């Protein structure tokens, strides 16, 4: 019985770590941590499918995560632009 509890706790901790890692580039670090902590595997899925905080590239008008310094679509610098939710 104790082995099952240990495996369950390790699985839950892995969900917390995974959701935090997935949510970090989306600027969802703290909230993604709590999604993983409270919801476990469902929290990982919710963080994975969420759009996160994004900005629009002024050159190609496509969305990029706010942490990106260079547009992933047109490879131009996108520092200092307004956020879009």
Same domain, 16 and 4: yes
Residue 64's domain spans which residues?
A: 53-85
Task: Let me know whether 63 and 28 are in one domain.
Answer: no
Same domain, 43 and 77: no
If one counts the domains in the chain, the total is 2
| Whether residue 32 is found in the same domain as residue 2 | yes
69 Cβ contact partners less than 8 Å away, ≥ 6 residues apart: 77, 78, 79
Task: Please check whether residues 74 and 84 belong to one and the same domain.
Answer: yes
Q: Indicate the pTM of the whole model.
A: 0.66
Q: Indicate the SS3 state at residue 74.
A: coil
> So what's the pLDDT on residue 5?
93
Q: In which band, very low, low, confident or very high, does the pLDDT at 85 lie, cut at 50, 70 and 90?
A: very low
Residue 62 pLDDT > 70 = yes
3-state helix, strand, coil in the chain (%, to 5): 55, 10, 35
Q: What is the mean pLDDT of residues 60-71?
A: 86
Determine the pLDDT at residue 2. 92
């Amino acid at each position: 019985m104790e082995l099952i509890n240990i495996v369950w706790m390790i699985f839950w901790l892995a969900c917390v770590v995974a959701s935090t890692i997935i949510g970090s580039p989306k600027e969802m670090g703290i909230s993604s941590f709590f999604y993983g902590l409270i919801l476990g595997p469902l929290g990982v899925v919710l963080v994975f499918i969420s759009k996160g905080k994004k900005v629009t590239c002024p050159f190609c008008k496509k969305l990029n995560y706010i942490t990106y310094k260079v547009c992933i679509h047109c490879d131009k610098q996108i520092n200092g632009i307004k956020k879009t939710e």
